[in-house]
Structure 1
Amino acid sequence: MTQPPAPQPGPELDGLPSLEDLLAAAHVVDLPMRVRFRGVLRREVVLLRGPLGWAEWAPFVEYDDRDAARWLAAAVELGWRGLPDPVRTEVGVNATVPAVGPADVAGVLARFPGCRTVKVKVAEGGEELTDDLARVAEVRRVAGPGARVRVDANGAWDVEQARAALRRLARHDLEYAEQPCATVEELAALRVALARDGTDVPVAADESVRRAEDPLRVAREEAADLVVVKVAPLGGVARALAVVQACGLPAVVSSALDTSVGLAAGVALAAALPRLDHDCGLGTAALLAADVVPEPLLPVGGRLTTARADTARSAVDPALLAAYRAPAERERWWRDRLGRAHAVLAGTRGRDRRTGGV
């Protein structure tokens, strides 16, 4: 099917596109998932066709308008402003195992052929530590002794729970634990406790960076060994690069359960980082049962390339947009939300201009 004509670059490239332009460029889709992830079985996403290509705006439904505005800034960068130049053309990718039972682990890992690193969700609501131990043990068994295994608790533990859980999970040779506790203070206390216990599990900060008013605090307070950065929550590739540089910590790039369009922005960030020591969480298209491109951006041999990411951004299929178009009431909800996020972002840009900020 023929692609609709793209908007032409105009004066708005130096600023924020008008709300009218964004609404005219918006396509709201509702995509099924293969497994439950972050408590959802369907992922609602807004695709925006800008002058420089397709962009994605999909803040999780529980996020407030300020969070949603940061995600919108990332979409505007992708579709209207452009991305920084890469310093590498390939990025290693980790497999992602949701909170499934041990019997399902092998099937999930089979969707990530060639990946040498596995991230395992733990501390899911309604489950016990024994469930986490069984899942991680099965991941280690299936992936083998040479694989890197990391766990992600999404801030669900307090310090003592994290201390006890990681002491037991450490037997499976963890690469690191992502956001084991919710607050910066807890992460800092946990790092001290793990050192005292002799538990050799590095701590990574995710939510404490991407959802924080002060994303550099984790570095100042020595609350993490590395940071996990995501393009959309931080407001775009350029801002994420600045945050990583200011933190001075090793970084891992991860997705926010994006379509292939959003994942392409994640690849752009990972490709532009001056230092990249870890595989990145950019293989999550495998968790979607449908995408907006005919050939989803999935790792080959455990890697993604900038060339394939660029292709994915240009390959959005109008037939798929139509097939997975969100119901009318959800489309109205997202369009209303887009208006609110645009108002927040416009206000922020106005204050920045008055104060000389960027």
Structure 2
Amino acid sequence: MLISPEVRTVLDHTAAPGDLFERVVPVALPMKARFRGLTVRETCLVKGPAGWAEFAPFTEYDVPEASRWLLAAVESAALPLPRPLRDRVLVNATIPAVPAHRVPAIAAHYPGVSAVKVKIAERGIASLDEDLARVAAVRRALPDAAVRCDANGAYTHDEAKTALTALARTGPLQYVEQPVPDVHGLARLREWVSIARLPVPIAADESIRKVSDPLSVAALGAADVIVVKAQPLGGIRAAASIIEAAGLPAVVSSALESSVGLAAGAALAAHLPLSSAGQGLLGPEPAAGLGTAALFAADVAAPGLRPQDGSLPLGRVEPDEDLLAAHAAGPERARFWTERLEACWTHVARGEDSGRAG
């Protein structure tokens, strides 16, 4: 796990979570539609000397993986946000794996976006016909937006060949994200795409954030684009160092956080220089996947950090006390999050899986 020098300094001077976080508030936020298999998103807000932050690893993640998310929470709670290079961040629409007839209502929450990410492969290749119908509905609902698809590693190599060929027939694709599960599979598939002259760029997500070496994607030539999420990579500074070292066009994306966590993602996106490396593929400014507050039926802030005219404003988000109380996790779940926070802190303090982001 990469730990930025700034976060390492905070940890070296802090013995326990209670020494840094003056408040720990687990919450449960309902979703408008099932997303990533969830209808309720559990997460944990923490407040430190720099402001509110979010500790949001998915509940099934083990302590080593969840500990990366703790580093991001420590950073945002203890340190100032990095200097932005822009005053707003372009975002894409996100369409869950819903039936095609539901697409227009969801797309209506994203006026003015320049790109749209469509979730596919909810049941692997068995979902292909539904996926094609969903993509077609998206193209009708948002005709001016570039289309991205996200398979979350659900295909085998042969299934991915079939799916990518079919998806390419629907029209231009900015990229297909993580069609197969591992980095070597991505490299093999990208080689096939090149030989077949299929106009489908490959993006890596899980092969960046769920592996011991996030730079192996670049080393193996496994992707055209990397999708980077600040929380699972250990925070804004660690994620920025990975983007710089990889040297590939990058899209900053959400890990399905509340508006508090999305603000840190927006800070990362606004901090990155607009490199000419991505202009041909992603346009002059890559649209970040940070518009996901629109997928929540409730949030911790009023108003939440939702897209306006295709972009998000910058700055920290202060949660609303009434909303924190309304969506507070029950006693059993609150205990789960408190114990999890302490277990991750112990894991990081022992220096397990440690490293530095330079």
Question: Structure 1-normalised TM-score?
Answer: 0.91
Residues 335-346 of structure 1 aligned to structure 2 (within 5 Å): 335-346=338-349
Deviation, 1:15, is 3.7
Aligned residue for 1:280? 288
Kept after mapping to 2: 8 A contact 1:298/1:304:
yes
Equivalent in the alignment of 2:99? 101
1:268 aligns with 2:267: yes
Asked if 1:216 corresponds to 2:215, the answer is yes
- The answer to whether residue 336 in structure 2 is matched with residue 328 in structure 1 is no
Structure 2 counterpart of 1:242: 241
User: What residue in structure 1 maps to residue 279 of structure 2?
Assistant: none
CA displacement at 1:16 relative to structure 2: 4.1
C-alpha offsets along residues 232-268 of structure 1, whole Å, 9 cap, x if unaligned?
0000000000000000001000000010000000000
Is the Cα–Cα contact under 8 Å of residues 20 and 49 in structure 2 kept in the other structure? no
Residues matched between the structures, number: 339
Secondary structure in 2 aligned to 1:27? strand
The code of the aligned residue for 2:300 comes to V
Structure 1 CA distance, aligned partners of 2:256 and 2:354?
A: 31
* Mapping 1:1-358, distance limit 5 Å: 15-16=13-14, 18-21=16-19, 24-125=22-123, 127-144=126-143, 146-171=144-169, 172-275=171-274, 277-306=285-314, 309-310=315-316, 313=317, 315-348=318-351
Residue equivalent to 1:4:
none
3-state DSSP of counterpart to 2:222 = coil
Cα 1:110–1:241 change in 2 (3 A) is same
1:82 Cα offset (Å): 2.2
Report the Cα offset of residue 167 of structure 1: 0.6
Q: Is contact 1:184–1:208 with CA below 8 Å preserved after alignment?
A: yes
> For residue 249 of structure 1, what is the amino acid of its counterpart?
L
Deviation at 1:83, TM superposition (A): 2.4
DSSP-derived class of the 1:227 partner = strand
Q: Does the CA-based 8 Å contact 2:241-2:357 persist in structure 1?
A: no
Partner Cα distance (1:177, 1:270) in 2: 20
Structure 2 portions without partners, runs of 5+: 1-8, 276-284
Looking at secondary structure, tell me which structure has more helix per residue.
1
**Match for 2:217: what amino acid?**
V
Residue 23 of structure 1: CA displacement?
6.3
Matched to 1:109, the amino acid is A
Shift of 1:212: 1.0
How far, CA to CA, are the matches of 2:140 and 2:15 in structure 1?
Answer: 50
Partner of 2:281: none
Q: Deviations over 1:123-177 (max 9, x none)?
A: 0027521111111111112211x32000000000111111110111012211100
* Secondary structure, aligned partner of 1:100: coil
SS at match of 2:213: coil
Distance (whole Å) between structure 2 residues aligned to residue 154 and residue 15 of structure 1: 38
Alpha-carbon deviation of 1:351?
A: 6.4
What is the distance in 1 between the residues matched to 2:198 and 2:47? 48
Q: Using the aligned pairs only, state the percent identity.
A: 50
Q: Secondary structure at the match of 1:35?
A: strand
SS at 1:257 equivalent: coil
Residues in 1 aligned to 2:162 and 2:154: alpha-carbon distance in whole angstroms: 13
TM-score by length of 2: 0.91
1:290 counterpart SS class: coil
Contact 2:348–2:354 (CA under 8 A) maintained in structure 1: no
Alpha-carbon RMSD across the aligned residues, in angstroms, is 1.9
Q: CA deviation at 1:21?
A: 3.2
